[in-house]
Amino acid sequence: MVRPKPSMDEVVALAKRRGFIFPSSEIYGGVNGAWDYGPVGVELKRNVRAAWWRHMVELRDDVVGVDTSILMSPDVWRASGHLEHFHDLMVDCRTCKKRFRADELSGERCPSCGNATLTQPRAFHMMFKTYIGAMEDASSVAYLRPETAQGIFVDFKSIYQTGRKKPPFGVAQIGKAFRNEITPGNFIFRSREFEQMELEFFVPVQPESEGMRWFDYWVEQRHNWFLGLGIQPSRLRRHVYSGADLAHYSRATTDLEYDFPFGWGELEGIAHRASFDLQRHVDASGKDLSFFDEESKEKFLPAVIEPSLGVDRACLVFLLDAYEKEADRTVLHLHPRLAPYKTAVFPLVRNKPDIVEMAVRIERSLRPSLRTVFDDSGNVGKRYYRQDEIGTPLCVTVDYESLDRQDVTVRERDSKEQKRISVDRLASYLKHAIEPDDTAVLDSVAR
Ligand code: ATP
């Protein structure tokens, strides 16, 4: 059964109330398009990154990782085409002063105030400009990167030589990106500072069918990654680009779209970019970035397949998809791998030192192997309520009987079912219930 779609407001309110995500600089009125992750949000975000890295790097033998810098030579952006083309068309309303992206408008009238007082579209450059060093002049201009991919392209040679890989192989990176979006909004869907997880998967240009085979493979892999982390299948679909919608260099592009509260929107893009990016850097830098195959003695510039996903957009989707308002509680059905805490440990009451001491001891013993949290505030009902709202899959309660019987109550988030588990079996029981076995994933990434 598909869960009813929550409104964005419900999820924004929960995110703020429970410490997932707050507006940046809120005490000064906030800054548009920037967000802060709170104590549980940071755990969710780390888990999303880790799940991606595990799937895309650790469980594969054909992908290596890198972490390249945010500040790069401006020549990179000249070569990549960003300096020339990375702009959106912007339209202002002369009456209400609202600003829109031209491609979001459907008529001559302002969607906000209804007047026919829109300006002509003007190009608005989306890269953030800054200066390197003490002098603020034209020679010191630099840009905050608008995507992580270029760091991989410009380092391509060093990476394949030191990573000891040959195509087909991939390079993965997770890091911040910055875009001066005209209309940031829909919570963390579109912000000005965000994070990307990108894979550049390099394949031989010949035969061409191999490139398309890898493209199809990655669309499938990426789609399944979301399903494996619990996304409801009917909320995810593919948008296949064709004709004029396809970038001129792209052989194929497919977006994974999610059914957001505001409608279907891009979650992740997967593009077959041919040799476009490497070729641009070869032309601009004069450096040979082609791959030399020692065996065949052949030299070639590989094509690249790029799955590109926003960390924040993925966090939003996991939150929206997991959210459910039941009659007596709100629950986040987060996949255990993504849940901020795997287990919460409670003493039933706070005024019985034996019970508290036993709960403290159990929580400490679990902590080295599981992300746990100790909670003794309010009554047990309130604690369950709080843990359900942040998606903790299992709660452990130490009660009066625990002292004699050396067992505890383990309560499952989704079913609310409770079981007595003996203390000596507890760690292995929880680990088994929570930690996914990656053997199946290992099989599924096989080529
Ligand atoms: P759009 O056309 O909606 O501006 P795009 O097609 O330019 O987006 P890409 O450059 O393909 O986006 O970015 C790859 C991924 O990075 C997106 O699928 C999305 O998950 C994420 N992303 C891009 N821009 C933003 C943003 N401003 N805020 C949050 N995530 C973003």
Residue closest via CA to ligand 1's atom 10 equals 147
219 and 280 share a domain? yes
Place of tokens 């390197």: 132
285 and 236 within one domain: yes
The Cα–Cα gap between 271 and 253 comes to 4
Q: Are residues 276 and 309 in the same domain?
A: yes
Residue 65: inside a domain? yes
How far away, in angstroms, is 310 Cα from ligand 1 center?
A: 7
Please check the confidence at residue 256 and state whether its pLDDT lies above 80: yes
Residue type, 75: D
Q: Note the pLDDT of residue 135.
A: 87
Quick one: which of 287, 263, 341, 438 has its CA closest to 43? Answer: 341
Domain range enclosing 98: 87-124
- Mean pLDDT of all residues belonging to the chain: 95
Residue 446 lies in a domain: no
Quick check: CB of 340 below 6 Å from ligand 1? no
Same domain, 139 and 191: yes
Name the domain boundary from 66, 97, 124.
124
Regarding whether 166 and 229 lie in a shared domain, the answer is yes
- The answer to whether residues 47 and 91 belong to one domain is no
Considering the domain architecture, whether residues 303 and 383 belong to the same structural domain is answered as no
Residue among 124, 313, 315, 318 whose CB has most ligand 1 atoms within 8 A, to mutate? 313
pLDDT digits (tens, 9 = 90+) for 189-224: 999 999 999 999 999 988 899 999 999 999 999 999
User: For the domain that residue 423 is a member of, what is the CATH number?
Assistant: 3.40.50.800
Query: Same domain, yes or no, for 95 and 156?
Result: no
Asked whether the beta carbons of 410 and 366 are under 8 A apart, the reply is no
Residue 154: inside a domain, yes or no?
yes
* Closest to 70 in 3D by CA, of 220, 175, 173, 154: 175
Within 150-246, strands assigned E span: 169-178, 193-203, 236-240
Ligand 1 in reach of 194 Cβ (< 6 A): yes
Q: In the listed set 72, 105, 124, which residue is the last one of a domain according to the structure?
A: 124
Q: Is residue 155 part of a domain?
A: yes
153 C-beta neighbours (distance < 10 Å), count: 24
pLDDT tens, residue by residue, 257-311: 999 999 999 999 999 999 999 999 999 999 999 998 888 898 999 999 999 999 9
Q: Is the CB of 168 under 6 A from ligand 1?
A: no
| CATH for 49 | 3.30.930.10
Residue 314 confidence (pLDDT): 98
Buried b (16+ CB within 10 A) or exposed e, 360-374: eebbeebeeebbbbb
| In-domain check, residue 334 | no
Q: Is residue 427 part of a domain?
A: yes
From residue 429, how far is each of 64, 208, 410 by CA, in Å?
34, 50, 10
pLDDT for residue 447 is more than 70: no
Q: Residue 114 domain-assigned? A: yes
Question: Which residue, among 207, 98, 76, has the nearest Cα to 145 in the 3D structure?
Answer: 76
DSSP calls for 9-55 = HHHHHHHHHHTSEEETTGGGT--TT-EEE-TTHHHHHHHHHHHHHII
Ligand 1 atom having least distance to the Cα of 265: 3
In the chain, the number of structural domains is: 3
Q: Give the mean model confidence (pLDDT) for residues 19-42.
A: 97
Q: Are residues 119 and 199 in the same domain?
A: no
Does ligand 1 have an atom closer than 6 angstroms to the CB of 190? yes
For the chain, what is the radius of gyration of the CA atoms? Answer: 25
